[in-house]
Amino acid sequence: MKILALETSCDETACAVVEDGVKEIASVVSSSAKLHEKTGGIVPEVAARKQVESIVPVIDECLKIANIVNPAKEIDALAVTVGPGLIGSLLVGVAGAKSLSLAWDKPLIPVNHLVGHIYGAFLTEDQSDLIKFPAVVLIVSGGHTDLIVMRGHGKLEYLGGTLDDAAGEAFDKVARLLGLSRYLGGPLLSAEAAKCQRNTLSGKLPRPMMDREDFDFSFSGLKTAVIRLVEKEKPPIAEVAREFEEAATEVLVKKTIRAALKTGAASIVLGGGVAANQRLRSTLAASADKNKLPIFFPALKYCGDNAAYIAGAAYFNNRPQPLNLITAEPSLSIMEL
Ligand code: KG4
Ligand code: ZN
Protein backbone atom coordinates (compact mmCIF):
# COMPACT_ATOMS: atom_id res chain seq x y z
CA MET A 1 0.00 0.00 0.00
CA LYS A 2 1.45 3.34 -1.12
CA ILE A 3 0.65 6.38 1.04
CA LEU A 4 1.48 9.96 0.11
CA ALA A 5 1.79 12.11 3.27
CA LEU A 6 2.10 15.84 3.93
CA GLU A 7 3.68 17.37 7.04
CA THR A 8 3.47 21.14 7.62
CA SER A 9 3.12 21.52 11.39
CA CYS A 10 5.85 24.11 11.92
CA ASP A 11 8.68 25.39 9.71
CA GLU A 12 9.17 22.32 7.50
CA THR A 13 7.13 21.67 4.37
CA ALA A 14 7.41 17.94 3.71
CA CYS A 15 5.95 15.35 1.37
CA ALA A 16 6.75 11.63 1.21
CA VAL A 17 5.60 8.46 -0.48
CA VAL A 18 6.04 5.34 1.65
CA GLU A 19 5.15 1.73 0.89
CA ASP A 20 3.57 -0.42 3.64
CA GLY A 21 4.69 2.01 6.35
CA VAL A 22 8.32 0.92 6.19
CA LYS A 23 9.78 1.58 2.76
CA GLU A 24 10.54 5.13 1.66
CA ILE A 25 9.95 5.68 -2.05
CA ALA A 26 10.59 9.44 -1.86
CA SER A 27 10.84 12.03 0.91
CA VAL A 28 11.28 15.78 0.38
CA VAL A 29 11.73 18.31 3.19
CA SER A 30 11.98 22.07 2.65
CA SER A 31 12.71 24.15 5.75
CA SER A 32 12.22 27.86 6.46
CA ALA A 33 14.52 27.67 9.54
CA LYS A 34 17.06 30.08 7.98
CA LEU A 35 14.40 32.80 7.90
CA HIS A 36 13.66 32.34 11.60
CA GLU A 37 17.33 32.58 12.52
CA LYS A 38 17.16 36.27 11.62
CA THR A 39 14.37 36.88 14.14
CA GLY A 40 15.87 34.54 16.74
CA GLY A 41 12.64 32.55 16.87
CA ILE A 42 9.79 31.44 14.70
CA VAL A 43 7.26 34.07 13.56
CA PRO A 44 4.13 31.96 12.86
CA GLU A 45 2.86 34.23 10.05
CA VAL A 46 6.25 34.06 8.29
CA ALA A 47 6.30 30.25 8.65
CA ALA A 48 2.73 29.96 7.28
CA ARG A 49 3.50 32.15 4.25
CA LYS A 50 6.54 30.01 3.48
CA GLN A 51 4.35 26.89 3.72
CA VAL A 52 1.97 28.38 1.13
CA GLU A 53 4.91 29.06 -1.22
CA SER A 54 6.54 25.66 -0.78
CA ILE A 55 3.71 23.12 -0.64
CA VAL A 56 3.05 22.65 -4.39
CA PRO A 57 6.75 22.55 -5.46
CA VAL A 58 7.50 20.08 -2.65
CA ILE A 59 4.65 17.75 -3.69
CA ASP A 60 5.73 18.00 -7.35
CA GLU A 61 9.34 17.19 -6.50
CA CYS A 62 8.30 14.23 -4.35
CA LEU A 63 6.12 12.74 -7.12
CA LYS A 64 9.00 13.22 -9.56
CA ILE A 65 11.52 11.43 -7.31
CA ALA A 66 8.98 8.63 -6.70
CA ASN A 67 8.55 8.39 -10.46
CA ILE A 68 4.77 8.68 -10.13
CA VAL A 69 3.11 9.95 -13.28
CA ASN A 70 -0.50 9.07 -12.52
CA PRO A 71 -1.04 9.55 -8.76
CA ALA A 72 -4.74 8.68 -8.93
CA LYS A 73 -3.71 5.20 -10.10
CA GLU A 74 -0.44 4.74 -8.23
CA ILE A 75 -1.24 6.18 -4.77
CA ASP A 76 -3.59 4.19 -2.50
CA ALA A 77 -4.22 6.75 0.25
CA LEU A 78 -3.24 10.18 1.58
CA ALA A 79 -2.15 11.22 5.06
CA VAL A 80 -1.65 14.58 6.72
CA THR A 81 -0.45 15.98 10.04
CA VAL A 82 -3.44 17.65 11.72
CA GLY A 83 -1.68 18.72 14.95
CA PRO A 84 -0.14 19.70 17.26
CA GLY A 85 1.56 22.67 15.63
CA LEU A 86 1.09 26.21 14.38
CA ILE A 87 -2.42 26.81 13.07
CA GLY A 88 -1.36 28.73 9.93
CA SER A 89 1.23 26.11 8.99
CA LEU A 90 -1.07 23.14 9.71
CA LEU A 91 -3.89 24.60 7.62
CA VAL A 92 -1.70 24.60 4.50
CA GLY A 93 -1.04 20.85 4.75
CA VAL A 94 -4.62 20.00 5.69
CA ALA A 95 -6.08 22.04 2.80
CA GLY A 96 -3.50 20.57 0.41
CA ALA A 97 -4.22 16.98 1.47
CA LYS A 98 -7.99 17.46 1.24
CA SER A 99 -7.60 18.88 -2.28
CA LEU A 100 -5.51 15.89 -3.39
CA SER A 101 -7.99 13.51 -1.75
CA LEU A 102 -10.83 15.04 -3.81
CA ALA A 103 -8.82 15.30 -7.02
CA TRP A 104 -7.48 11.73 -6.89
CA ASP A 105 -10.50 10.21 -5.11
CA LYS A 106 -8.39 8.66 -2.34
CA PRO A 107 -9.09 8.28 1.40
CA LEU A 108 -7.37 10.76 3.74
CA ILE A 109 -5.86 9.63 7.06
CA PRO A 110 -5.35 12.36 9.70
CA VAL A 111 -2.16 11.88 11.76
CA ASN A 112 -1.00 13.23 15.11
CA HIS A 113 2.50 14.71 14.65
CA LEU A 114 3.73 13.22 17.94
CA VAL A 115 2.49 9.75 17.04
CA GLY A 116 4.28 10.30 13.73
CA HIS A 117 7.59 10.73 15.55
CA ILE A 118 7.23 7.18 16.96
CA TYR A 119 7.14 5.75 13.44
CA GLY A 120 10.55 7.15 12.48
CA ALA A 121 11.98 4.02 14.12
CA PHE A 122 9.69 1.74 12.05
CA LEU A 123 10.92 3.13 8.73
CA THR A 124 13.07 0.20 7.73
CA GLU A 125 11.68 -3.22 6.92
CA ASP A 126 14.16 -5.07 9.15
CA GLN A 127 13.70 -2.88 12.18
CA SER A 128 9.89 -2.61 12.10
CA ASP A 129 9.60 -6.41 12.45
CA LEU A 130 11.88 -6.45 15.47
CA ILE A 131 10.06 -3.87 17.61
CA LYS A 132 8.08 -5.93 20.10
CA PHE A 133 5.22 -4.67 22.27
CA PRO A 134 4.80 -3.41 24.89
CA ALA A 135 7.39 -0.80 23.91
CA VAL A 136 8.33 2.19 26.01
CA VAL A 137 8.63 5.22 23.74
CA LEU A 138 10.55 8.40 24.55
CA ILE A 139 9.64 11.33 22.31
CA VAL A 140 12.06 14.23 22.59
CA SER A 141 11.42 17.16 20.27
CA GLY A 142 11.49 20.94 20.25
CA GLY A 143 8.01 21.18 21.72
CA HIS A 144 7.51 17.88 23.56
CA THR A 145 9.10 15.39 25.94
CA ASP A 146 6.84 12.41 26.50
CA LEU A 147 7.18 8.88 27.88
CA ILE A 148 4.57 6.45 26.58
CA VAL A 149 3.82 2.76 26.74
CA MET A 150 2.84 1.43 23.35
CA ARG A 151 0.92 -1.84 23.73
CA GLY A 152 0.34 -2.11 20.00
CA HIS A 153 -0.38 0.17 17.05
CA GLY A 154 -2.99 2.69 18.20
CA LYS A 155 -2.73 1.51 21.82
CA LEU A 156 -0.83 4.20 23.68
CA GLU A 157 -0.73 4.86 27.43
CA TYR A 158 0.76 8.10 28.69
CA LEU A 159 3.32 7.74 31.48
CA GLY A 160 4.59 11.29 31.87
CA GLY A 161 6.10 14.30 30.20
CA THR A 162 7.71 17.64 30.76
CA LEU A 163 6.06 20.05 33.18
CA ASP A 164 7.75 23.07 31.56
CA ASP A 165 10.37 23.25 28.77
CA ALA A 166 10.75 20.38 26.30
CA ALA A 167 14.18 18.73 25.99
CA GLY A 168 14.86 20.29 22.57
CA GLU A 169 13.69 23.67 23.82
CA ALA A 170 16.19 23.42 26.72
CA PHE A 171 19.02 22.58 24.28
CA ASP A 172 17.99 25.55 22.12
CA LYS A 173 17.75 27.98 25.05
CA VAL A 174 21.14 26.96 26.47
CA ALA A 175 22.71 27.23 23.00
CA ARG A 176 21.39 30.76 22.80
CA LEU A 177 22.62 31.58 26.34
CA LEU A 178 26.10 30.38 25.43
CA GLY A 179 26.04 32.50 22.24
CA LEU A 180 26.16 29.46 19.95
CA SER A 181 22.96 30.03 17.99
CA ARG A 182 19.83 32.17 18.03
CA TYR A 183 17.46 29.51 16.73
CA LEU A 184 17.37 25.70 16.99
CA GLY A 185 20.89 25.51 18.44
CA GLY A 186 20.57 21.93 19.76
CA PRO A 187 22.95 20.39 17.20
CA LEU A 188 25.47 23.25 17.67
CA LEU A 189 25.39 22.84 21.44
CA SER A 190 26.05 19.14 20.97
CA ALA A 191 28.96 19.87 18.60
CA GLU A 192 30.42 22.26 21.19
CA ALA A 193 30.07 19.59 23.91
CA ALA A 194 32.00 17.17 21.72
CA LYS A 195 35.02 19.52 21.87
CA CYS A 196 35.30 19.05 25.65
CA GLN A 197 38.12 16.63 26.49
CA ARG A 198 37.53 16.52 30.24
CA ASN A 199 34.42 17.73 32.05
CA THR A 200 35.72 19.42 35.21
CA LEU A 201 32.15 20.67 35.83
CA SER A 202 30.82 17.13 36.19
CA GLY A 203 27.86 17.07 38.59
CA LYS A 204 27.70 20.86 38.95
CA LEU A 205 24.38 21.13 37.14
CA PRO A 206 21.24 19.61 38.70
CA ARG A 207 19.57 16.47 37.29
CA PRO A 208 15.97 17.73 37.73
CA MET A 209 13.40 15.18 38.97
CA MET A 210 15.75 12.29 38.11
CA ASP A 211 15.21 10.33 41.30
CA ARG A 212 11.47 10.83 41.53
CA GLU A 213 9.40 7.72 40.94
CA ASP A 214 7.06 9.42 38.46
CA PHE A 215 7.78 9.84 34.74
CA ASP A 216 7.57 13.62 34.51
CA PHE A 217 10.42 15.92 33.53
CA SER A 218 11.39 19.54 34.15
CA PHE A 219 14.10 21.29 32.15
CA SER A 220 13.53 25.00 32.82
CA GLY A 221 15.57 24.95 36.08
CA LEU A 222 18.56 23.56 34.20
CA LYS A 223 18.66 26.65 32.04
CA THR A 224 18.71 28.91 35.14
CA ALA A 225 21.44 26.74 36.68
CA VAL A 226 23.51 27.20 33.50
CA ILE A 227 23.17 31.00 33.80
CA ARG A 228 24.36 30.89 37.44
CA LEU A 229 27.25 28.55 36.67
CA VAL A 230 28.47 30.74 33.80
CA GLU A 231 28.20 33.93 35.87
CA LYS A 232 29.93 32.44 38.91
CA GLU A 233 32.75 30.37 37.41
CA LYS A 234 33.13 31.68 33.84
CA PRO A 235 34.07 28.16 32.66
CA PRO A 236 35.00 27.23 29.06
CA ILE A 237 31.86 27.09 26.88
CA ALA A 238 32.62 23.54 25.69
CA GLU A 239 32.60 22.28 29.27
CA VAL A 240 29.29 23.97 30.06
CA ALA A 241 27.81 22.48 26.88
CA ARG A 242 29.12 19.03 27.84
CA GLU A 243 27.84 19.24 31.42
CA PHE A 244 24.42 20.44 30.22
CA GLU A 245 24.24 17.63 27.66
CA GLU A 246 25.22 15.09 30.32
CA ALA A 247 22.66 16.40 32.82
CA ALA A 248 19.79 16.34 30.31
CA THR A 249 20.84 12.92 28.96
CA GLU A 250 21.17 11.33 32.41
CA VAL A 251 17.62 12.36 33.36
CA LEU A 252 16.12 11.18 30.05
CA VAL A 253 17.97 7.84 30.14
CA LYS A 254 17.31 7.04 33.79
CA LYS A 255 13.58 7.72 33.53
CA THR A 256 13.19 5.82 30.25
CA ILE A 257 14.96 2.71 31.58
CA ARG A 258 12.95 2.86 34.80
CA ALA A 259 9.73 3.14 32.77
CA ALA A 260 10.72 0.13 30.66
CA LEU A 261 11.55 -2.00 33.72
CA LYS A 262 8.42 -0.97 35.59
CA THR A 263 6.07 -1.70 32.69
CA GLY A 264 7.80 -4.94 31.65
CA ALA A 265 8.57 -3.49 28.22
CA ALA A 266 9.87 -5.78 25.48
CA SER A 267 11.60 -2.89 23.71
CA ILE A 268 12.45 0.82 23.84
CA VAL A 269 11.83 3.23 20.97
CA LEU A 270 13.24 6.75 20.61
CA GLY A 271 11.74 9.51 18.47
CA GLY A 272 11.86 13.27 17.83
CA GLY A 273 14.46 15.84 16.80
CA VAL A 274 16.63 15.34 19.91
CA ALA A 275 16.84 11.62 19.02
CA ALA A 276 19.62 12.80 16.66
CA ASN A 277 21.79 13.59 19.69
CA GLN A 278 24.71 11.16 19.76
CA ARG A 279 25.27 11.30 23.52
CA LEU A 280 21.61 10.49 24.14
CA ARG A 281 21.72 7.63 21.63
CA SER A 282 24.91 6.08 23.01
CA THR A 283 24.04 6.50 26.71
CA LEU A 284 20.54 5.09 26.20
CA ALA A 285 21.89 2.21 24.11
CA ALA A 286 24.48 1.32 26.79
CA SER A 287 21.93 1.45 29.59
CA ALA A 288 19.34 -0.55 27.61
CA ASP A 289 21.99 -3.14 26.80
CA LYS A 290 22.94 -3.47 30.46
CA ASN A 291 19.27 -4.13 31.27
CA LYS A 292 18.86 -6.53 28.30
CA LEU A 293 16.27 -4.27 26.66
CA PRO A 294 16.28 -4.12 22.85
CA ILE A 295 16.38 -0.48 21.74
CA PHE A 296 15.37 1.07 18.40
CA PHE A 297 16.41 4.46 17.04
CA PRO A 298 15.13 6.29 13.99
CA ALA A 299 17.71 6.85 11.23
CA LEU A 300 19.09 10.38 11.54
CA LYS A 301 17.03 11.61 8.56
CA TYR A 302 13.84 10.53 10.36
CA CYS A 303 14.58 12.35 13.66
CA GLY A 304 13.67 15.86 12.56
CA ASP A 305 10.31 16.66 11.03
CA ASN A 306 9.53 14.89 7.76
CA ALA A 307 6.52 13.35 6.03
CA ALA A 308 7.83 9.77 5.78
CA TYR A 309 7.02 8.98 9.41
CA ILE A 310 3.56 10.57 8.94
CA ALA A 311 2.94 8.06 6.13
CA GLY A 312 4.25 5.29 8.43
CA ALA A 313 1.92 6.27 11.26
CA ALA A 314 -0.99 6.44 8.79
CA TYR A 315 -0.26 2.92 7.50
CA PHE A 316 -0.04 1.29 10.94
CA ASN A 317 -3.08 3.17 12.34
CA ASN A 318 -5.12 3.12 9.14
CA ARG A 319 -8.15 5.22 10.09
CA PRO A 320 -9.33 7.39 7.19
CA GLN A 321 -11.96 9.99 8.03
CA PRO A 322 -14.52 11.91 5.96
CA LEU A 323 -13.02 15.21 4.76
CA ASN A 324 -15.56 17.33 6.65
CA LEU A 325 -14.34 15.85 9.96
CA ILE A 326 -10.65 16.56 9.28
CA THR A 327 -9.45 19.91 10.62
CA ALA A 328 -6.19 21.47 11.81
CA GLU A 329 -5.89 20.89 15.57
CA PRO A 330 -3.02 23.02 16.94
CA SER A 331 -3.33 21.81 20.55
CA LEU A 332 -3.77 18.08 19.91
CA SER A 333 -2.24 15.96 22.71
CA ILE A 334 -0.43 12.69 22.06
CA MET A 335 -3.35 10.70 23.45
CA GLU A 336 -5.84 12.13 20.94
CA LEU A 337 -6.67 10.77 17.47
O1 KG4 B 1 11.15 17.01 16.19
P2 KG4 B 1 11.73 18.29 15.77
O3 KG4 B 1 12.44 18.35 14.44
O4 KG4 B 1 10.68 19.42 15.76
C5 KG4 B 1 9.62 19.46 16.66
O6 KG4 B 1 8.62 18.74 16.42
O7 KG4 B 1 9.78 20.16 17.67
O8 KG4 B 1 12.75 18.71 16.93
C9 KG4 B 1 13.54 19.86 16.84
C10 KG4 B 1 14.38 19.95 18.10
C11 KG4 B 1 15.07 21.31 18.23
O12 KG4 B 1 14.89 21.76 19.54
C13 KG4 B 1 16.52 20.97 17.91
O14 KG4 B 1 17.46 21.86 18.48
C15 KG4 B 1 16.63 19.59 18.51
O16 KG4 B 1 15.43 18.96 18.12
N17 KG4 B 1 17.81 18.85 18.01
C18 KG4 B 1 18.85 18.45 18.79
C19 KG4 B 1 19.77 17.80 17.94
N20 KG4 B 1 19.25 17.81 16.67
C21 KG4 B 1 18.05 18.45 16.74
N22 KG4 B 1 19.07 18.60 20.10
C23 KG4 B 1 20.22 18.09 20.59
N24 KG4 B 1 21.14 17.46 19.86
C25 KG4 B 1 20.98 17.28 18.53
N26 KG4 B 1 21.90 16.65 17.80
ZN1 ZN C 1 8.48 17.16 15.41
Q: What is the pLDDT of residues 235-266, one digit of tens each?
A: 999 999 999 999 999 999 999 999 999 999 99
Report the C-alpha gap between 315 and 79 in whole angstroms.
9
Residue nearest to atom 22 of ligand 1 (CA): 186
48-52, 133-137, 260-264, 333-337: range with lowest mean pLDDT:
333-337
At residue 40, the pLDDT reads 86
Domain boundaries 2-118+302-325, CATH class: alpha beta
Strand partners, 80: 6, 110
DSSP single-letter state for residue 335: T
Which ligand has the minimum distance to the alpha carbon of residue 184? 1
Q: What is the mean pLDDT of the chain?
A: 96
Q: Side by side, which strands form the sheet with 77-83?
A: 23-31, 12-19, 2-7, 77-83, 108-112
Confidence check: pLDDT of 200 > 90: yes
- State the alpha helices, DSSP H only, in 71-211: 71-74, 87-104, 113-118, 125-130, 167-177, 186-194
- For ligand 1, say whether the CB of 165 is within 6 Å of any of its atoms: no
Confidence check: pLDDT of 48 > 90: yes
Mutate to test the pocket of ligand 1, among 89, 114, 184 (most ligand atoms within 8 A of CB): 184
Question: Which band of pLDDT confidence, cut at 50, 70 and 90, is reported for residue 198?
Answer: very high
The number of the ligand 1 atom at minimal distance from the alpha carbon of 144 is 7
Residue nearest to atom 23 of ligand 1 (CA): 186
Confidence check: pLDDT of 22 > 90: yes
At residue 41, the pLDDT reads 87
Full-model pTM = 0.96
16-25, 32-41, 58-67: range with lowest mean pLDDT:
32-41
Amino acid of residue 244: F
- For ligand 1, say whether the CB of 116 is within 6 Å of any of its atoms: no
Confidence check: pLDDT of 126 > 90: no
Ligand 1 centroid to Cα of residue 4, in Å, is 24
Ligand 2 centroid to Cα of residue 141, in Å, is 6
Ligand 1 centroid to Cα of residue 56, in Å, is 26
- For ligand 1, say whether the CB of 304 is within 6 Å of any of its atoms: yes
At residue 34, the pLDDT reads 87
What proportion of the chain, given as a percentage, has pLDDT over 90? 94
- For ligand 1, say whether the CB of 146 is within 6 Å of any of its atoms: no
The number of the ligand 1 atom at minimal distance from the alpha carbon of 278 is 26
Question: Which band of pLDDT confidence, cut at 50, 70 and 90, is reported for residue 5?
Answer: very high
Per-residue pLDDT averaged across 19-39, rounded?
94
Question: Which band of pLDDT confidence, cut at 50, 70 and 90, is reported for residue 37?
Answer: confident
Residues 6+ apart with CB under 8 A from 103: 72
Residue nearest to atom 10 of ligand 1 (CA): 142
Look at residue 68 and give its three-state secondary structure. coil
- For ligand 1, say whether the CB of 141 is within 6 Å of any of its atoms: yes
CA angle at residue 20 from 152 to 298, to 5 degrees? 65
Inter-CA distances, 222 with 42, 167, 227, 284, Å = 23, 10, 9, 20
Question: Which band of pLDDT confidence, cut at 50, 70 and 90, is reported for residue 182?
Answer: confident
Domain boundaries 125-297, CATH class: alpha beta
Summarize pLDDT for 84-119 with one digit per residue, the tens: 999 999 999 999 999 999 999 999 999 999 999 999
Confidence check: pLDDT of 308 > 90: yes
Domain ranges across the chain: 2-118+302-325, 125-297
**Same topology between domain 2-118+302-325 and domain 125-297:** yes
Report the C-alpha gap between 149 and 296 in whole angstroms.
14
